[in-house]
Amino acid sequence: MTELVEHADAIIATSDDEFEKFEACEPYFRQMIEQRLYLAKLHSILEENLAGRKEVTPDMSAGNFLVLHGSRHSSWAVLKHVGRTRQLYLTPSHSISAMVGGGPLRLDRYAVPADVELSELDTTKELKLLESGVMRIGEIVSKNGRAHSLDIYPSEATCAYTVRVNTIPYASFEWAFSRQTLRPIKMSSLRAADSNLTTIFDLLSAVGSPQSVEWLAPYAEHKLHFIRWHAVNAVGTIDSKIGLELAERAVADPHPHVRAAARSTLDAVAARQ
């Protein structure tokens, strides 16, 4: 499997996030599915685990997700599908999937609205259901991350397994959509390291030490907008004067969400005076 995946990864590396170029790795993926090469990888994991040479660590498996291969360009994994997610998701990556066990699985394909900018949540955008059907063992399903969102779920009270290759995300955020309205309700960062920063900010603001301000304030200039505003909030919790100064600057922030939040904060402060 390793040699096959490396050939496919070389194609993905030169795709420049273009779906048509990414799809050129489909014959390699199909070969892996038809020859069940993923089983050899799973067997080798168990062999090394039995010999005490490898643990199934969190970087390999997180609940219903087991990584078979990962690189700077792609991720190959086995997924366990149980139930339906609470929301629909628009994730900025292309993928090819195949059902390999269990089932049956349902597959709903949605059209993504044109001109979506994932760094700015637009609640007026709306998904459109294009097709709904059954995913069968060995069937290959592709997803253009810029055009489609896929919802794959068991059609009965059971579980099923798919193997999937996807590109590394070409944007930093994903949107979650309401299943009822098909409109976005929240956005999330796909960068774990950046999300961890906000956890640190929350802890420091909860402790409330004035010494933390000098370390938090510089993040009001961070390249990611949600980090900038989180830093402004954290500083304001510890030192309201400095926090207001940062909020006044944020009114001119390049991101509309930060500008709106800053104006709302300043209006709320003014109303209390």
Mean pLDDT in residue range 162-174: 93
Q: In the block, which residue shows the tokens 């799973």?
A: 42
- pLDDT score, position 142: 97
3-state secondary structure of 13: helix
The β-bridge relationship of strands 65-70 and 128-135 is: unpaired
What are the phi and psi torsion angles at 96 (to 5°)?
Answer: -135, 130
Tell me the pLDDT tens digit for each residue of 201-237.
999 999 999 999 999 999 999 988 989 999 999 999 9
Q: Kindly state the helix (H) or strand (E) to which residue 167 belongs, with its residue range.
A: strand 159-167
| DSSP state, residue 115 | T
- Encode 151-188: b = buried (16+ Cβ within 10 Å), e = exposed: bbebeeeeebbbbbbbbebebbbbbbbbeeebebeebe
The topology under which CATH files domain 2-189 is: Jelly Rolls (2.60.120)
Tell me the pLDDT tens digit for each residue of 79-118.
999 889 999 999 999 999 999 998 789 999 999 998 898 9
Domain positions in the chain are 2-189, 192-272
Q: How far apart are the first and last CA of the chain?
A: 67
Angle at the Cα of 157 from the Cα atoms of 151 and 158, rounded to 5 degrees:
80
Give yes or no for residue 193 having a pLDDT over 90.
no
Give yes or no for residue 156 having a pLDDT over 80.
no
Beta bridge partners of 135: 105
Selection from 18-27, 38-47, 151-160 with the highest mean pLDDT = 18-27
Give pTM, 2 decimals. 0.79
